[in-house]
């Protein structure tokens, strides 16, 4: 991390007034800025807030919203909530894994896509649901998701 990045982190910490209560919110902001939580950023937080690295990592690894590694440009979420599960979401997930050649939690080599399963997106009436960059695509099947990915790759949806 260079000095400009460190100063960006510093200004975020300042904005949160070094308030430990808002550690989760601070991490969210760092992640929004860098796409993940860089190690240097975590060290800086630990130093400035006066909390141990153990505690910092404890929080960073506890919540699913945080990544300790960079993620792909487009984020694909496959909902595995109960309503999606009974409508065969697992087949949808496996198709996505096959099409992208990655497993849940991984990113493609070209860093275009990362894949993550979600335990429930809360749009259960439309299950199975696949989310690409925050946009919901409902009533998926193994076949429809393959078409969706194809369209996305060629820039026809949501890029």
Partner 1 sequence: MRALRSVGELDAARAALRDQRRLDRPCITICSGTGCHALEGGKVYEAFEEELRKRRLGDRIGLKPTGCRGFCERGPIVVVRPQGILYQRVEAGHVPDIISRTVLKGEIIEDLLYVDPTTGEKAVAMGDMAFYRGQERVIMGDNDELNPGDIWDYIAIGGYGALGKVLTKMTPSQVIEEIKLSGLRGRGGGGFPTGRKWESCRLAKGEPKYVICNADEGDPGAYSNRSLLEGNPHKVLEGMAIGAYAVGSSRGYVYVRTEYPLATKNVQIAIKQAGELGLLGRNILGFGFDFSVKVVSGGGAFVCGESTALMASIEGRRGEPRPKYVHSVTRGLWDKPTSLNNVETWANVPLIIERGAEWYSQIGTIGSKGTKVFSLVGKINNTGLVEVPMGTTFQQMIYNIGGGIRDGKKLKAVQIGGPSGGCIPSHLMGMPIDYDALTQVGSMMGSGGMVVMDEDTCMVDIARYFVNFLKDESCGKCTPCREGLYQMAEILEDISAGRGTGPQLELLQQLADVMRDASLCALGQTAANPVLTTVRHFKDEYESHIHDRKCPARVCRGLIKYSVDPGKCTGCGRCLKVCPEDAIKGEKKKPHEIDPARCIKCGACRDECKFDAVLKV
Nearer to partner 1, 112 or 136 (CB): 136
Residue with Cβ nearer partner 1 (53 or 118) = 118
Nearer to partner 1, 2 or 122 (CB): 122
Q: Is the alpha carbon torsion for 16, 17, 22, 27 positive or negative?
A: positive
Which positions touch partner 1 (CB under 8 A)? 19-25, 27-28, 55, 58-59, 62-66, 80-83, 85-88, 91, 94-95, 98, 118-127, 129, 134, 136-138, 141-143
Instruction: Note whether 26 and 13 are within 8 A (CB).
Output: yes
Nearest C-alpha neighbor of 51 from the set 74, 22, 94 = 22
Residue 10 exposure: Cα atoms within 13 Å on the Cβ side? 7
Smallest distance from partner 1 to CB 2, Å: 28
Task: Considering the complex, state which of residue 39 and residue 119 has its C-beta at the smaller distance from partner 1.
Answer: 119
Taking the complex as a whole, the smallest distance from the CB of residue 86 to partner 1 amounts, in Å, to 5
Give the nearest distance from C-beta 11 to partner 1 in angstroms.
19
């Amino acid at each position: 991390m260079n000095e400009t990045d460190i100063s960006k982190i510093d200004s975020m910490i300042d904005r949160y007034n070094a308030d430990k209560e808002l550690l989760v919110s601070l991490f969210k902001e760092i992640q929004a800025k860098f796409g993940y939580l860089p190690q240097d950023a975590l060290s800086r937080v630990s130093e400035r807030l006066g909390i141990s690295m153990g505690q910092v990592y404890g929080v960073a690894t506890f919540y699913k919203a945080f990544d300790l590694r960079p993620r792909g440009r487009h984020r694909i979420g496959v909902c595995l909530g109960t309503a999606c599960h009974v409508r065969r979401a697992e087949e949808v997930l496996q198709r996505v894994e096959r099409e992208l050649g990655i497993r849940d939690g991984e990113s493609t080599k070209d860093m275009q896509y990362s894949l993550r399963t979600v335990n429930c997106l809360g749009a259960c009436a439309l299950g199975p649901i696949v989310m690409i960059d925050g946009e919901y695509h409902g009533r998926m099947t193994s076949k429809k998701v393959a078409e969706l990915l194809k369209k996305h790759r060629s820039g026809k949806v949501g890029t």
